A and B are shown apart, each in its own frame.
Chain A
């Protein structure tokens, strides 16, 4: 070892010691995390096939686990930025309590980044209530397109894909397979109507023909046979694929292999568009999933991914800007240089016109990712990921200062 390199090594060792000593006193950088105790999206079957209501069999599918893994993953970024990352989660009884819970966490910890796991209406309300509060909200689970459109807000970002992005992914797949005639089955809830609306838009974008839209109900009532019997629901129509809109998913489960004509089932059952699936084996996804499963003891869901990637986005912005100021982070996240590795292949970035994270959408069966959208051949003039969801030209969002709207 030359004198020079020895000195360099000594210097490095000294730097290392300094940073080790500083670790104790590093100030905390807190992520706030809010969800609702009663959220229909997480009332799912447990692990036991018969006693499905048993509390002991209930699996916690909340994406908070994804956020926790994100905080662990960016620990090294904290060393570099001179902070210690922590997560402060609060579960509130109903959506009206979200703004107050946010304010309480903020007052106590100084947190200005909040992950929100709540349905669309609740996300809209908490965004409206925090307009003047100098915070960044990240929506990790609401797919409502209005949050990215007319109800958008400059401080509200989305790592969850929108309903339109999911519908576009499904439509691209059907077009790629040349299954162009589609029968649509629509559930009774408002979300189901919204999903059909998105699929209708996707069908017109990509040139699918919707043969018919039929409403179903989950019931055994013989007087409603035309709406609860799959033979009748899928009879007397021309289709190569069936799109099911069913947020509840209980009816949707019965559709695959039960159609009158042989047909692919997509949407809420069969081939489902999702931001993430545990069976994906490329782009470093197995490592992400492995860490999640070791930590949580269950498989990683799409919303877990969205929460995880939200934390990673902030971590990335902090180390690249070398700042923990809200203003710097917000500008960088929406700026042209931001690139994020989400272990789904292409680099991810936020759409500067509505704060939506650009991302591939997986099309998965129960245990395999069959395809990833955007599919080959679906190209966009600036970024192929913008074939999913509304792009700059068709967006209704007017709350973002967008320097580079293509005309």
Chain B
């Protein structure tokens, strides 16, 4: 009894203490050019922390319990684990060669990472940090990794094969591969899990896959007067919580496309920075943050006004952005 109340008290104090910095929220950005992850206050947009990581940090993911950030350090061949409270790296997971993009299942038990040079995806048990399975032949130059919302399957894009491999990571088998547009990069599921949207960097488009039938049901092409087809190079894609709107970063086109999910139409194009790649939304969907790999900054976009309100220099070649608020 005595012990219980002490623990309860500690938890209460901790919760109070931690609620303060979390209020403003934090923006995490990986800089693959100078091996850091920077943490910005989401209100002031000041850089609060600079964390040294292993070589070439790229994808970032929060643990489902919200206590850690996983960082793919590609040149170090591992995923590093950052404690979000202390902002220190407390461990790492060996991943096999050159981990680039990964995802964590909703229960936090396993993560799946693409190994770009080996045409493989590796399934890792997070708690023990051990490799459960290496799935071979997922397509050449695998990149985007996305769990279905129910955590049962994972969709892996292969840039050089123009396919999305549908994988059962728990059994370690490829169920199917779906032909999409040219150079598929990353994707997202609609919140109901019915559709998987994937960007085609060289196709200048997004392919929509029915998650049940695994057929491509629609293709959205991006075109804007004054932009050349060759510069429209979609890479990242995020959706609002209600699943009505998708934002697609268009790479060398300097713009982000805002797409109405139901009608599959582009509502507008929002100017961002040079080689705009990574994207993340705040939890209330009011702001979109994108990384501009070739101008070493992020743009913060107001999703009501559909325009960028601030850009902030963050480091060399910013790759991925995640928001905790």
Contact = CB atoms under 8 A, between A and B. Distances in A.
Q: Is the interface of B mostly helix, strand, loop or mixed?
A: loop
Interface stretch (B81-89, B122-130, B174-182): B174-182
Interface stretch (B14-22, B59-67, B156-164, B306-314): B156-164
B2 interface: no
Interface stretch (B135-143, B253-261, B264-272): B135-143
A80 B141 contact: no
Interface in B188-229: 202-204, 212-214, 228-229
A76 B159 contact: no
B152 interface: yes
B207 to A, nearest CB: 13
A73 B158 CA distance: 12
Contacts of B213: 8
Contact of A77 (B137, B161, B202): B161
B117 A287 contact: yes
Contacts of A76: 137, 139-140, 158, 161, 163, 177
Contact of B160 (A13, A339, A341): A341
Contacts of A131: none
Contacts of A13: 175
B308 to A, nearest CB: 23
A8 B166 CA distance: 13
A21 interface: no
B41 interface: no
A187 B247 CA distance: 56
Given A319-B162, A341-B182, A290 B117 contact: yes
A8 B212 contact: yes
A15 interface: yes
Contacts of B161: 76-77
B177 A339 contact: no
A371 B179 CA distance: 33
A284 interface: yes
A220 B100 CA distance: 55
Contact of B116 (A1, A9, A287, A316): A287
B202 A383 contact: no
A12 B152 contact: no
A384 interface: yes
A232 interface: no
Contacts of A383: 229-230
B203 A339 contact: yes
A339 B182 contact: yes
A293 B202 CA distance: 25
B179 A16 contact: no
Interface string B227-270: 01110000000000000000000000000000000000000000
B78 interface: no
A47 interface: no
B175 A341 contact: no
Given A76-B140, A347-B182, A287 B175 contact: no
B179 A9 contact: no
B183 interface: yes
Contacts of A16: 174-176
A383 B202 CA distance: 15
B182 A73 contact: no
Q: Which of B160, B204, B214, B229 has the most CB of A within 10 A?
A: B160
A346 interface: yes
Contacts of A80: 177, 179
A76 B163 CA distance: 9
Contacts of A15: 176
A12 B202 contact: no
A139 to B, nearest CB: 23
A316 B180 CA distance: 12
B136 to A, nearest CB: 12
Interface in A1-58: 1, 4-5, 8-9, 12-13, 15-16
B117 A12 contact: no
B159 to A, nearest CB: 6
Contacts of A345: 230
B265 to A, nearest CB: 22
A202 B214 CA distance: 50
Nearest to B143: A284
Given A76-B177, A287-B117, A341-B183, A346 B230 contact: yes
Interface in B60-103: none
A343 B202 CA distance: 10
A80 B158 CA distance: 15
Contacts of B230: 345-347, 383-385
A8 B153 CA distance: 13
A347 B202 contact: yes
A44 B296 CA distance: 43
A291 B182 CA distance: 20
Contact of B228 (A8, A73, A384): A384
Contacts of A291: 117
6 contacts: A12-B214, A284-B160, A287-B117, A290-B117, A339-B182, A383-B229
Interface of A: 1, 4-5, 8-9, 12-13, 15-16, 73, 76-77, 80, 284, 287-288, 290-291, 316, 319, 339-341, 343, 345-347, 383-385
| Pairs A-B, 6 closest by C-beta atoms | A346-B230, A347-B202, A12-B175, A341-B183, A76-B161, A341-B202
